[in-house]
Structure 1
Amino acid sequence: MAVTWFNDFYKQIADSPLSHWLEVLPAQIALWQKEQLHGDFNKWVKLLGKLPTTTPSSINLKDKVEFGQLSDINDYTQRQISGLLKQFAPWRKGPFHLHGIHIDTEWRSDWKWNRVQPHIQPLKDRLVLDVGCGSGYHMWRMLGEKAKMVVGADPSQLFLMQFQAIKHFNPVPNIHLLPIGVEQLPALKAFDTVFSMGVLYHRRSPIDFLYQLKNQLRKGGELVLETLVVEGDEHTVLMAGERYAQMRNVWYLPSTAALTVWMQRVGFKNIKVVDIAKTTIEEQRATEWMDSQSLVDFLDPTDHSKTIEGYPAPLRAVIVAEV
């Protein structure tokens, strides 16, 4: 099953501006598949195979990610789908609505999309890349904006499985998630829009990461960058200690002014900070689909303006720029 997910993508890009990706991608995917012999991969593939085939009476990607209504299926099928999907927990990015089943994810990713979408170039007929796409929630919303094709890159095995589980209910040909990291992407210089949301602060070398994003865009293409920031001037960058909000893999949190300087040095133009928002405990919280600790546990219990380590609480910015 897993092989066919990627074979379809190879065929689609053979006669597209992405065709030179075929020089390296099949070998990368083949290596990835060899490495999936351990862990939960085979179990998850079997679970995917048990999902019943349904016919959604409606599809909504403009306002939410919703495939079908409760009335499309009987109670038994609904319980079957819900039980299978819960075995792919934790569900972090969403929410998704499948035949009346509400996958209430840890993050209200729709809130982020509502902050981002008004400020970007229209996605109609564009080739779009989402780097660090998670389980693909925002990719579906990009498709809802009439993108020609949406490609996600994220090395997480679980995110790929969650994406395939959702796509099972709407198996359209122009949305794909590839289990690769940004460092495996060649300089494609072909995408009209590249998104990177919630990734920059996880990179040990943010400048290299910005170059990697720039190398995916065609001339005149747009980068949509969303990341954690701190308040301050162009010289302000927080390098967290061992943990930030209990996350081990957080490196640099620049101010928006410092980030703008970084992007200028890399060669981006028309850089605009279009949104800054504090992350609230309503936007990121535990649910029955992600029932472990969440943001409220990572903040100072007596002062939510600070993390549990004493750093400024999460503040997120959206920056758009062109190449």
Structure 2
Amino acid sequence: MKQNKYDDEKFFSAYKKMPRSVKGLEGAGEWHQLKALIPDLRNKSVLDLGCGFGWHCRYAREQQASSVIGVDISEKMIQKAREMTDDPLISYIKMPIEDINFSGSQFDLVLSSLAFHYIKSFKTIGKKVYDCLKPGGSFVFSVEHPIFTSRNEQDWYYDDKGSRLHWAVDNYQTEGLRETTFLTENVIKYHRTFSTYINNLIDAGFIIKAIKEPIPSEEMLNSIPEMKDELRRPMFLIILAEK
């Protein structure tokens, strides 16, 4: 299923107001650790899967990447990315991630931020990414952590006063579709286990170089009180793999 919730006007309107939409990369709590895993981009060709507003694409060019392609299923996302970009070496393609079909050994880096939990088969994407990477190329991506995606509710348990009691994990080993709420109702995500992410990468031929379960930066923890709850359970998973 290729759900395109981002072109829903109500959903997109709410998404535009999120800190990571307004502030860009610095508004994303996991960015400081994702950034640390991105290799030197000077004179490198980059592919961004699920590029959204194009923040990572523009960052790659700031780091002197030679060319950048951003792919996203959403017309509204691509339109916004183009409006925010004034660089002929960045191109945006409206396309589901599942449909990519780039040339073999085309890119030095394939990057993706919080997109693959919307994709039914990570195994298929892993193989496609491996094929389009140059030998020695890097694959860096973030997803919602399997502990976060295991339940449909994807929310805390609260007491009768609204205080957060704990984060429950259930149905962890049952992979597949989760219908949940994110900004609006009826959002389709796909849960897979930690081991599935790792084994799919290994089966595709990748070498796992780093795994991070990021927490917000000290600045965010100090300036946004509710961010301290992000120390209680992992929300994101970041992986660096090489061909």
Give unmatched runs, 5+ long, in structure 2: 1-7, 148-168, 221-225
Question: Given that residues 47 and 68 in structure 2 are in contact (C-alpha distance below 8 angstroms), is that contact kept between their aligned partners in structure 1?
Answer: yes
Aligned to 1:108: 27
How has the CA–CA distance of structure 1 residues 205 and 114 changed in structure 2, closer, same or farther, with 3 Å as cutoff? same
Aligned to 1:194: 110
Aligned to 1:203: 119
Aligned to 1:316: 236
Q: 1:264 aligns with which of 168, 188, 202?
A: 202
Cα deviation for residue 138 of structure 1 reads: 1.3
TM-score (norm 2): 0.68
Distance 2:210 2:25 in 1: 26
Aligned to 1:254: 193
* Amino acid paired to 1:112: E
How has the CA–CA distance of structure 1 residues 106 and 172 changed in structure 2, closer, same or farther, with 3 Å as cutoff? closer
RMSD: 3.5
Question: Given that residues 194 and 217 in structure 1 are in contact (C-alpha distance below 8 angstroms), is that contact kept between their aligned partners in structure 2?
Answer: yes
Identity %: 20
Aligned to 1:229: 145
Q: 1:172 aligns with which of 87, 91, 96?
A: 87
How has the CA–CA distance of structure 1 residues 247 and 199 changed in structure 2, closer, same or farther, with 3 Å as cutoff? farther
Distance 1:197 1:227 in 2: 7
Question: Given that residues 223 and 322 in structure 1 are in contact (C-alpha distance below 8 angstroms), is that contact kept between their aligned partners in structure 2?
Answer: yes
For each residue in 1:125-161, what CA deviation from the matched residue of structure 2 results, as whole angstroms up to 9, or x when unmatched?
A: 1000001111101111111111111110112111111
For each residue in 1:101-132, what CA deviation from the matched residue of structure 2 results, as whole angstroms up to 9, or x when unmatched?
A: xx4469923x4332112222211110000011
The structure whose Rg is larger is: 1
For each residue in 1:66-109, what CA deviation from the matched residue of structure 2 results, as whole angstroms up to 9, or x when unmatched?
A: xxxxxxxxxxxxxxxxxxxxx9885267768xxxxxx4469923
Q: Count residues with an aligned counterpart.
A: 199
Aligned to 2:158: none
- Segments of 4+ moved more than 6 angstroms: none
How has the CA–CA distance of structure 1 residues 202 and 148 changed in structure 2, closer, same or farther, with 3 Å as cutoff? same
* Amino acid paired to 1:108: G
Question: Given that residues 279 and 316 in structure 1 are in contact (C-alpha distance below 8 angstroms), is that contact kept between their aligned partners in structure 2?
Answer: no
Distance 2:49 2:17 in 1: 16
Does structure 1 residue 153 correspond to structure 2 residue 35? no
Q: 1:91 aligns with which of 4, 16, 24?
A: 16
Aligned to 1:53: none
Give unmatched runs, 5+ long, in structure 1: 1-38, 41-86, 97-102, 284-295, 297-303, 306-311
Q: 2:35 aligns with which of 114, 117, 125?
A: 117
Aligned to 1:276: 213
* Amino acid paired to 2:132: Q
* Amino acid paired to 1:259: Y
